[in-house]
């Protein structure tokens, strides 16, 4: 029983060279965008924008999705912590104002 293991190597040396070049270009096409993305300045956020594009979301919701997928328990803890901060926002603001008033003036 014959198994199909892919295209046979071309008998023509020029065709073989062309096939090798085609494979190199395909390999470069697969790795070059990733290299360029990593070389871009961090503030351009290309990897993050790319991930958001793949997930069909804006960057914020893509990040939330990745966090929730990577570690669901920690994501739930983060959500809970956010709610606690929200519930106590007014008390925290009042505390900050009080502490500012209590500080001695700097000269």
By the 10 Å C-beta count (0-12 exposed, 13-18 middle, 19+ buried), 80 is classed as exposed
Give me the pLDDT at residue 82, please: 95
pLDDT tens string 41-89? 888 888 899 899 999 999 999 999 999 999 999 999 999 999 999 999 9
Q: Write down the mean pLDDT value for the chain.
A: 84
CA distance from start to end of the chain: 92
């Amino acid at each position: 029983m014959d198994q199909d293991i892919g295209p046979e190597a071309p008998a023509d040396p020029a065709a073989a060279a062309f096939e090798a070049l085609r494979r190199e270009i395909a390999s470069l096409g697969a790795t070059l965008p990733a290299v360029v993305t990593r070389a871009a300045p961090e503030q351009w956020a290309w990897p993050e924008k790319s991930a958001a594009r793949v997930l069909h979301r804006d960057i914020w919701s893509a990040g939330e999705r990745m966090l929730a997928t990577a570690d669901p328990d920690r994501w739930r803890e983060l959500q809970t912590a956010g709610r606690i901060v929200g519930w106590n926002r007014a008390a925290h603001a009042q505390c900050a104002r009080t502490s500012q008033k209590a500080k001695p003036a700097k000269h």
